[in-house]
Amino acid sequence: MLNLPIPYSTQEITPDDISAVTKILKSTFLTQGPAISALEESFATYTESNHCVAVANGTAALHLGILSLGVAAGEKVITSPLTFAASANCILYAGARVIFCDIDKKTGLMDLEILQELIDLHPDCKGVIPVNYAGMSVNTEKIRKIIGKNRFILEDACHSPGGYFIDSKSDKVKSGSNKYADAAIFSFHAVKHIAAGEGGMLTCKSEKTAKQALTLRTHGITKTNEDLIENHGGWYYEMQALGFNYRLTDIQAALALSQLKRADQMIYRRKLLAERYHESLVNLPIQLPVISENIGHAYHLFVIRLVRRKELYDYLKKQQILCQIHYIPVHLHPYYQSLGFKKGQFPNAESFYETCLSIPLYPSMTDGQQDYVINKILFLRFYFRKKLSFYSLIIPFGDLMDYQ
């Protein structure tokens, strides 16, 4: 059974996942119990980070990250326009100013030459939120060299748990590790690598940042001062800062923890599927994802690029293959336009958007399902060769550049 339609991504839930959740439902704590700290500890080990703070979702992790790194109203923070809106929205939540750094045409990652120019142009900028687009880690060592010690790196690693890049010392720098980044964030949304329904994680280099995030996670309330409790009574607590309810439940934490146990297995499957796509689609006049020896791609998405993207999207949809587009550049959304951003301002992100298509990739995808997707894409080639020229329908990326 093929199990149609085939989504671009979906969660994989095993009997172990279900029993992990059931165990919590039968326990004392539904929220902020032992599963939270167990998840935080395991995640710190997995990402090789110093401190982890589990939160309600990836967006909450971005918000707490930016506040805990000390961003204040009116300050400037740089991020990529080719991302989910949350990467930029968190800057606005803090009352700060979004500066977009256009992307590299091929990888979809922040262009580091443009980043250098922006830093020269905005020396007062506080930090950078780079995005590990599609699962490819940005080189935070290079970003650190460009921005210096006094600005922060908050890595949006939602696409890349388990991914890494190799730094100049030949060390593997895991996504979310705090070797060069001050903090990183992850999402446990259902389509992400670790699927807990909703959920998120902030990894922090310094204890100070982590403590601040922990306080803000629960309304800015602290209950740790023994002297105050002694003076006032056992019930006593104080609200020290204007925080939020960004807590993760133990139900979600147990599910995330159970998934984390087979994270490597799931990445392995993603990589196999990606390799099969690369092998099968290599002779088509479409652009496949860039691969690099120095990057351990986590393959959150498999993004192909072609000129007639909409035709392929519609055709595959008719075949019950539900692709997705990542992303409509953030600055093109009406809200960002109302802030003064203009179409044409970030041409690389815009042309990436015009030509990208995320085809299905998820750990529970069967070989049969993938063959179905591959065959439908290959069939199109013969179909259009007969009708009109397929090559006039789908132009390779190299040629696309020449056409413009």
Least distance from C-beta 319 to ligand PLP, angstroms?
26
Question: If binding is defined by CB under 6 A, does position 156 make contact with ligand PLP?
Answer: yes
CA-CA distance, 335 to 17, in Å (whole number)? Answer: 39
- Supply the DSSP string of 13-66, one letter for each residue: --HHHHHHHHHHHTSS-SBSSHHHHHHHHHHHHHHT-SEEEEESSHHHHHHHHH
Site size toward ligand PLP (CB under 6 A) is 14
- Rule CB under 6 A: choose which of 35, 86, 173, 257 binds ligand PLP: 86
151 DSSP 8-state letter: S
CA-CA distance, 54 to 60, in Å (whole number)? Answer: 10
Q: Which is nearer to ligand PLP, 205 or 300 (CB)?
A: 300
- Rule CB under 6 A: choose which of 11, 83, 215, 348 binds ligand PLP: 83
Question: If binding is defined by CB under 6 A, does position 65 make contact with ligand PLP?
Answer: no
CA-CA distance, 127 to 142, in Å (whole number)? Answer: 14
Least distance from C-beta 171 to ligand PLP, angstroms?
25
Contact mark string toward ligand PLP, 100..139, x via CB under 6 A: -------------------------------x--------
Question: If binding is defined by CB under 6 A, does position 87 make contact with ligand PLP?
Answer: yes
Contact mark string toward ligand PLP, 174..213, x via CB under 6 A: -------------x-x----------x-------------
Q: Which is nearer to ligand PLP, 57 or 178 (CB)?
A: 57
Label residues 321-352 b or e (16+ Cβ within 10 Å = b): bbbbebbebbbbeeebeeeebeeeebebbbbb
Residues 6+ apart with CB under 8 A from 22: none
Least distance from C-beta 137 to ligand PLP, angstroms?
13
Q: CA 2, 393, 398 angle in degrees (round to 5)?
A: 100
CA-CA distance, 177 to 49, in Å (whole number)? Answer: 4
Closest to 92 (Cα-Cα) out of 340, 268, 267: 340
- Rule CB under 6 A: choose which of 46, 84, 246, 299 binds ligand PLP: 84
Q: Which residues bind ligand PLP (CB under 6 A)?
A: 57-59, 83-84, 86-87, 131, 156, 158-159, 187, 189, 200
